[in-house]
Structure formats: C-alpha cells, structure tokens
Amino acid sequence: MADRFRLTIAQLNPVLGDLAGNAAQARDAWEQGKAAGADMVALPEMFIAGYSPQDLPSKNAFTLDCMAAVRQLAEDCADGPTLAIGTPWVEGTELYNAYVICRGGKITTQVFKHHLPNYEVFDELRIYDSGPIGGPYAVGNTRVGSPVCEDAWYEDVAETLAETGAEFLLVPNGSPYHRDKYETRLNKMVARVIETGLPLIYVNMTGGQDDQIFDGGSFVLNPHGQVAVQLPVFEEVVAHVDLERTESGWRALEGDFTRHPDSMEQDYNAMVVALRDYCRKTGFGKVLLGLSGGIDSALVATIAVDALGAGNVRCVMLPSEYTSEHSLEDAKACAEALGCHYDFVPITPGRDAITATLAPLFEGLKPDLTEENIQSRLRGLLLMAMSNKFGEMLLTTGNKSEVAVGYATIYGDMAGGYNPIKDLYKTRVFDICRWRNANHRGWMSGPGAAPIPERIITKPPSAELRADQKDSDSLPDYPVLDGILKILVDDDGSIADCVAAGYDRADAKKVEHLLYISEYKRFQSAPGARLSKRAFWLDRRYPIVNRWRDNS
C-alpha cells in the first residue's frame, strides 16, 4: 500500500458558460499537478459550467455540451494524475449535479449530489434530481469519498462513505460568500471529521458571478478538527496537499496557512472582486458613475478604481442650483484623489426645458416630489447617454438602506448596470469608507493615500433635490433605520421585535410600510454584490402586490 498521497487542489475562477475556457483552466491545473507528482487533481463543484448556472442545465443542449467538454478533458488528461471536476450530468431521464472522476483518458466514476439546497440563493431542488448515497471511488489503491458541497453539511453522506471504506473526504464546493460564512463552513466540516475520523479536504471556487461572490478559502482538516492547510480568500490558488498513511489512518501534512482578514476587509474585497469580474465576464472594460459629493458615490468610485484602475473610471458631476459648494468641491477632490476622469455637466438647462414642456399640463399645481424626481431622472438620462456613447457601463450607487425603503428614483439614480454597494447598509458604508481611507492592499488598483475626502464622511447625507434637504427629513436617522431594517429584513423579525429592541413603534411601522411598497423598485433594480445572508433578490423574495401588514 502507498504511504503518501499528493492531492492538487485548484481554487480557481470559472466563467459561467465558457466551457472551453473553464476546461483550459482545469487542464492547466492538471498540468501543474502532474509536474508536482500529484496522484489526483481536484476542481470545485460544477466547474466546467460555472456556478451557479441556475436554469441553464435544464436546457439539454447546454448539459450535453458540458458532458462533451468533460469527456474531452478526460482524454486530454489521460497520461497523468486522476482528474476530478464538477459538471451537470444526464443519466437516463435524470439530471444531476455531478462530480466526475477521470482516469486514463476515461470517466471512471460519477458522484451525484444527494442533498439539494433550497434556501438563500440556492434553488437546486427545482433543477436537479437527488442522487443516491454511494460509496467511495478508487484512486490507485486509495479510496476517496466525495460529498458534493451540501452533502457535507449533513452527517449521512459522510458517515456512509466512511462506513464503506473511504480513507479521506474530498469535498468540492461552489459556496458563495456572505459575511462570516467561513466560520460556518469550518464548523460543519469539523463536525464531519469528528464523526468519521477521516481527514477532509474542502475545495471552493473563487470569483464573482452576477450578484454572488465565491471567496475560496479552501482548507484541509485532520481528524479531531485541526486545520492543516488554509488557502487565502478571493484569490486563485493551485496548492498541493500531502497526505501520509499512519497506523491510525491517513493524516494531512501541514502546508500553506493564510490568515484571513476581518469581515470589514472581506466585504470590501468582495465588492471589488464582484465588480471586476462582472465587468470582465460581461465584456465591459470601463465604467462611469454620477459623483455627487456624497458618501455613497464616493465609495462606489473608490471600489471601481480599486477594481478596474483609474483609467477605466469616469466620474460625472451633474449639479443643479441645489448642489452645495461643499458637494462641488468634495466631488472634484475625490475624483482627483482617485486619479480618474472627471466631467462637469450641469442639469439646469435640460431641467428648464423639461419644466417648460410640462408647464401647460402642470399649471396651477404646486411643486412637489415630481420636480425632485425630474432632476434625478434627467441625471439618469444624461449618464445613460454617456454610457451609450462611450461604451462604459453605468454604475448605480444606492446603499441597502435606500434600496430597502425606496429612497431612490426609479429610472433616475437607480439607472445603471451594476450596484457594488447594494447589500451595504448606510451605517456600514461609513465604516467601510473609514476602513478604506486607513488601509491599502496589493489587490487594490487605487491610491494608497486616503481617497475619500474626510468631509464627505462627516457631513449630513442629502439628496440635494431641494433647498436645505437632508435624508433625515424623510427617514429616521440611519442608525435607527438600519437597526430596524436588520430586524425586519435580515432577521425576518416583527414589529414587536423592533419594539422589544428599543425602537419606536411608529418608526418601525413607517419602515415596514416603505419596505413593502418599494418592492416594485427592487424588481427593476440593478444587480449588486451579495454580502449578507439576506441580500435583496434571491435571498428575499416578496410579492409586489401585498396588503398584509404586521400589527404585532
């Protein structure tokens, strides 16, 4: 019996639907494993397709193309280590989320995912069939068990594999990021190794896909839960893991161990990765945004520069007579600190033309929200015109607090193709800005010095659509608003829960009302980076028409 086993794990970033490109990444990882003398090279869950493909595997042509790509990959990787890769797979009339084992030019084993997640962003029950709980597969004279992602969150699959002879567990994953997700994964996997007494290798992908970000952070556990290897987050890494047979079974030797940053840095990194990959994978090289002199647009501009480089970011100030001198100065200072292109496009002439056009219809009616929204929608029109003309994707800049209560103008400041801060509450926007001003990392393309002028962070937030306007005129102060939203949205709590937490019932009812009547806006809003377990879109699905209110 062999006393050593070398496993190459590939924490890589697939592009959904780019089967040839994903196969090329897998071949490159396999070549690295071969050069390093690996017995096996492991890619993440559903890697050939990209994850999550949502309903794409329901198209038989797509799944057949994925299967053909894996068969060709098996042929290409015939002379060397075993290759394991995730793919959709059709067997008879059933469609599976499969982990395919390739050896000697052929597919030797298919492992079909048994537990299909149907919560948060996951919807696998409506797409895939549940596979049987099977036994391990052989790699040489070593028996390996592969619970596919969710299968390792329950004890039955791992225990069956251990009972039928698995010598270690290799868990392929497409596990998306949310704040503090790593600790949850680690705790679940520690439970599996304690229950089975087997080492466990957890392989996760990295990179952005629509609203989701995959953070990598692959790791290796020995029995009793000791971490032998821990890979970095938000980075592509090919690493070699050595296991050694001892009198008490296989044990992983200690290898690379990267300490993970705190949640503030991980959130910021996630937003940068999400925007960079969204642009790269959709074909946009440049972006633009309206830079108002406020904190939200300043943060989005900073994320964009860190993601794409200053030369690929256009900032546009679109002032009216309500724009303060401070905002004019702060927007220009921020653009200059970031080093990006800055345009100055006043909206007054266009607004006057629209007002004159509507004057006969509006005669005798007092100015109200209509006139405020005209300003916002005119800005959206001008920014979209620039987006069309220059081929630059427009970024929208509404934070989660505003998205929640509809404090944004549909077809106005909500216009855009992507929103990097969509899942960031306003209070955390302030915290992230302070963090970024104090920190610079090698993965940031922006300046090392504080890019966000201090006055942008300290002044009272305002939409500046009328004289002396402040956000607090329309909403509870942001610490109160965010506290209530965290109960109603993140925790699915009640009005009674808000009152029990010390918030005024009238404030809670107002926020609840705004939350429900703004659902139609969220249905039409741009996608944005998912940072929490209750991001708007797949995590939280509510009807637009809804008369129910919580009277607790």
SS3 labels along 223-256: HHHCEEEECCECCCEEEEEEEEEECCEEEECCCC
What spatial distance separates the first Cα and last Cα of the chain, rounded to whole Å?
66
Q: Is 446 annotated as a binding residue?
A: no
At CA 272, angle to CA 269 and CA 275, rounded to 5? 145
Long-range residue pairs from 492-499, CB within 8 A, at least 24 positions apart, any chain: 492/534, 494/550, 494/552, 495/550, 495/551, 495/552, 496/550, 496/552
Residue with tokens 């597919």: 107
3-state secondary structure of 171: strand
The burial of 88, by beta-carbon neighbours within 10 Å (0-12 exposed, 13-18 middle, 19 or more buried), is given as: buried
> Of the residues 66, 77, 102, 149, which is catalytic?
149
What is the C-alpha to C-alpha distance for residues 314 and 296, in angstroms, rounded to an integer?
16
pLDDT in tens, 318-344: 998 888 899 899 999 999 999 999 999
pLDDT for 1 equals 52
Q: What's the distance, CA 227 to chain centroid?
A: 26
> Of the residues 113, 286, 422, 426, which is catalytic?
113
Q: Is 291 annotated as a binding residue?
A: yes
Q: Is 412 annotated as a binding residue?
A: no
At 467, the pLDDT band (50, 70, 90 cuts) reads: confident
At 439, the pLDDT band (50, 70, 90 cuts) reads: very high
Check if 235 is active-site: no
For residue 89, the number of C-alpha atoms closer than 13 Å in the C-beta half-sphere is 23
Residues 273/232, Cβ–Cβ less than 8 Å:
no
DSSP string, 99-157: EEEEETTEEEEEEEP-S---STT--GGGT-PPPP----EEETTEEEE---GGGGGSHHH
pLDDT for 159 equals 97
Check if 340 is active-site: no
Residues 58/127, Cβ–Cβ less than 8 Å:
yes
Task: Please tell me the total number of residues recorded for the chain in this structure.
Answer: 552
Nearest to 200 by CA among 246, 243, 264: 243
Residues 6+ apart with CB under 8 A from 311: 340, 341
The pTM assigned to this predicted structure is: 0.95
Q: Is 322 annotated as a binding residue?
A: no
Nearest to 451 by CA among 441, 440, 463, 462: 440
> Of the residues 45, 372, 392, 464, which is catalytic?
45
pLDDT for 464 equals 65
What is the C-alpha to C-alpha distance for residues 81 and 34, in angstroms, rounded to an integer?
6
pLDDT in tens, 170-225: 999 999 999 999 999 999 999 999 999 999 999 999 999 999 999 999 999 999 89
Q: Is 517 annotated as a binding residue?
A: no
Q: Is 296 annotated as a binding residue?
A: yes
pLDDT for 470 equals 76
Nearest to 160 by CA among 141, 136, 139: 136
Cβ neighbours, 10 Å, residue 371: 16
Check if 113 is active-site: yes
What is the C-alpha to C-alpha distance for residues 222 and 254, in angstroms, rounded to an integer?
10
**Over 60: is that where the pLDDT of 3 sits?**
yes
Query: Mean pLDDT in the chain?
Result: 95
Q: Is 146 annotated as a binding residue?
A: no
What is the C-alpha to C-alpha distance for residues 201 and 171, in angstroms, rounded to an integer?
6
Nearest to 32 by CA among 240, 331, 335: 240
pLDDT in tens, 255-267: 999 999 999 999 9
Long-range residue pairs from 20-25, CB within 8 A, at least 24 positions apart, any chain: 20/69, 22/47, 22/48, 22/49, 22/50, 22/69, 23/48, 23/69, 23/70, 23/72, 23/73
Q: Is the dihedral of CA 222, 224, 230, 236 positive or negative?
A: positive
According to DSSP, the residues that pair with 316 across neighbouring strands are: 290, 343
pLDDT for 276 equals 98
Structural domains present in the chain: 4-260 (3.60.110.10), 264-466+519-523 (3.40.50.620)
pLDDT in tens, 381-400: 999 999 999 999 999 999 99
At 2, the pLDDT band (50, 70, 90 cuts) reads: low
